Amino acid sequence: MKIKVFAIVELVIIVALAVALFISQYVTFRTLAPVVREPGAPGESTISYTPLPHPKFPVAAVRQLVFLRQLTQPEIEKVTDDIYLARGFAMGNVGMVVTDDGLVIIDTTESPETARQILEEFRNISDKPIRYIIYTHGHIDHVQGTEVFMEPGAEVIATSDAVEFMGKDLGWLSEFHVRSRTNQAGEAAEAYSLPLPVGSPIRAIRAEGEVVYPTITFDKEYSFALGGKKFELYHTWGETPDQLMVWLPDEEALFAGDLFCAWFPNLSTPMLESRPVKAWYESLDRMVALEPAYLIPGHTAALDGEEEIHDTLVNYSRAVRYVYEETVKAVNEGKSVEEAVQSIKLPEELAKLPYLQEVYGRVDWSVRGTYLGLTGWYDGSGTNLAPAPPQYCAREIVNLAGGADKILVRAIELQDSGDHQLACELCDIVLAANPDDRLAHIVKAVSLEYLGYSYFNLNTFGFYRSASALEREAAGTKPTE
């Protein structure tokens, strides 16, 4: 009955979203004003440009939008009689294990404000004291609510590597990390962005509250008992070098951190450091060997059922291993990074699995990041060993084209025909030669918006949304103008 009710509710949501998207797709409520570019140099002509209508989510994306909606709905999920998972309150999940002698909290989410909401919900379940807090890793969406959960005598457990990792992300490189994650969330220059049709589960994560470092650290493994339950912690590697998994052997429950989520993993995120991909699939294989009956990820819902979890983790490991080994093969064969990105795709039997959809991570990003993590920045061509500043070549191209107006007219033609990537690249040539060219910023912003709406991937959409907003900010125009 519960499954049938859920299916009916999902169907109602799908129909409502489909109607709303259909209306927004085919009904235009206003025409955007044209932008005029006066000649910027002798020989150039005036250009009048009317931006394309704002892009819309395709009706075909309704089911994915329902998935996004579910990710942003706060819920306390009861995994077992004593294990609970708070998800949808923020980007990262928070786990709670209830024992006779107190509570164990696993990860603390991205902010004190969200942590307080979660703790209030947990207190409706148990009023026992919090005895331990465990960090599965030091990413800021997992450790910034700790001060809210801290109680007298509580210990914070993490790997030894977490101390250095948190010191980097939350300390000496924190400004960059906040900026990159704001960009990833699509919230850079927010005032210049198109409004979102649904709330995004990807939120800008800022350094908030007190940074609480672990009071207990370990290198390979650590265990403790509390209230009749045994907790075994194992250092794993994958999304970060400081990862750990939490295994409750009596409950056969495994907290996987971010080594497993119900989407293709973010083996390489465009603005952050390389990740230990080989160690990632090796850690997944260690999880398979435990034969868990419950699998609790750092994002998305928990899984139950030993057979289903076994098959899921095996396939997940296969996918990560395949991307890594094929990238290594491409490097050894002398393929360029672009050739590797174009040629490496997941096998069909893996690509079709629901938990390997490219909703969060992407195969091409993973190949690119793995390749560059295995090699240096020089490709052997000679040209990029000591390159000239980009504006030098851009000015030569502008001169050869007969002026920036010629390049912009072609960029607009490409945009009208749907070739938004090439339109952006032509705009980049103009902007490299003259960063103050307002029309180039506006044309590029429009194509970036269309690129964002053409990919159903959370991070891709966020990066494009931020990039478009930054171009509009540079032009001094908002999307409604």
Residue range(s) defining the domain that contains residue 463? 386-475
245 assigned to some structural domain: no
Amino acid in the structure at residue 197: P
- Parallel, antiparallel or unpaired: strands 244-248 and 229-235: antiparallel
Element housing 256 (H / E): strand 253-257
pLDDT of residue 59: 64
Q: Write the DSSP symbol of residue 385.
A: T
- Parallel, antiparallel or unpaired: strands 75-78 and 303-304: unpaired
Kindly give, in sequence order, each residue whose CB lies less than 8 Å from that of residue 358, ignoring residues fewer than 6 positions away.
263, 264, 457
Structure token pair of residue 471: 């171009």
**Environment class of 43 (CB within 10 Å of its CB; exposed 0-12, middle 13-18, buried 19+):** exposed
Residues 80, 29: Cα–Cα separation, whole Å: 50
pLDDT of residue 204: 53
> What backbone phi and psi angles, to 5 degrees, belong to 108?
-130, 10
443 assigned to some structural domain: yes
371 assigned to some structural domain: no
263 contacts 346 by C-beta, under 8 angstroms: no
Residues 232, 216: Cα–Cα separation, whole Å: 14
pTM of the model: 0.90
pLDDT of residue 413: 98
Cα-based torsion angle of the residue sequence 111, 115, 116, 120 in order, rounded to the nearest 10 degrees: 160
Side-chain half-sphere CA neighbours of 110 within 13 A: 18
Side-chain half-sphere CA neighbours of 187 within 13 A: 14
- Parallel, antiparallel or unpaired: strands 294-297 and 303-304: antiparallel
457 assigned to some structural domain: yes
Q: Tell me how crowded residue 175 is: count the other CB atoms within 10 A of its CB.
A: 9
428 assigned to some structural domain: yes
> What backbone phi and psi angles, to 5 degrees, belong to 214?
-60, 145
Element housing 246 (H / E): strand 244-248
109 contacts 122 by C-beta, under 8 angstroms: no
133 contacts 108 by C-beta, under 8 angstroms: yes
Of 440, 241, 459, the residue nearest 365 (C-alpha): 459
What's the start-to-end Cα distance of the chain, in Å? 50
| Segments of the chain with pLDDT less than 70 | 1-31, 58-69, 197-208, 481
Kindly give, in sequence order, each residue whose CB lies less than 8 Å from that of residue 131, ignoring residues fewer than 6 positions away.
99, 101, 102, 103, 104, 153, 154, 155, 226
129 assigned to some structural domain: no
pLDDT of residue 97: 98
Q: Is 107 helix (H, G, I), strand (E, B) or coil?
A: coil
- C-alpha dist (Å) from residue 58 to 20, 198, 455: 11, 13, 10
Strand partners, 295: 254, 303
**Environment class of 274 (CB within 10 Å of its CB; exposed 0-12, middle 13-18, buried 19+):** middle
pLDDT of residue 127: 97
402 contacts 367 by C-beta, under 8 angstroms: no
CATH code, domain with 427: 1.25.40.880
463 assigned to some structural domain: yes
156 contacts 130 by C-beta, under 8 angstroms: no
Residues 269, 462: Cα–Cα separation, whole Å: 12
16 assigned to some structural domain: no
Residues 153, 151: Cα–Cα separation, whole Å: 6
pLDDT of residue 138: 95
Residues 239, 81: Cα–Cα separation, whole Å: 30
- pLDDT tens digits, one per residue of 399-423: 999 999 999 999 999 999 999 999 9
Q: Is 52 helix (H, G, I), strand (E, B) or coil?
A: coil
Task: Give the length of the chain.
Answer: 481
Side-chain half-sphere CA neighbours of 392 within 13 A: 3
Number of domains in the chain: 1
Residues 285, 44: Cα–Cα separation, whole Å: 62
Kindly give, in sequence order, each residue whose CB lies less than 8 Å from that of residue 295, ignoring residues fewer than 6 positions away.
254, 256, 260, 287, 302, 303, 304, 309, 312, 313
- C-alpha dist (Å) from residue 171 to 54, 273, 274: 39, 16, 19
Of 439, 447, 440, 442, the residue nearest 417 (C-alpha): 447
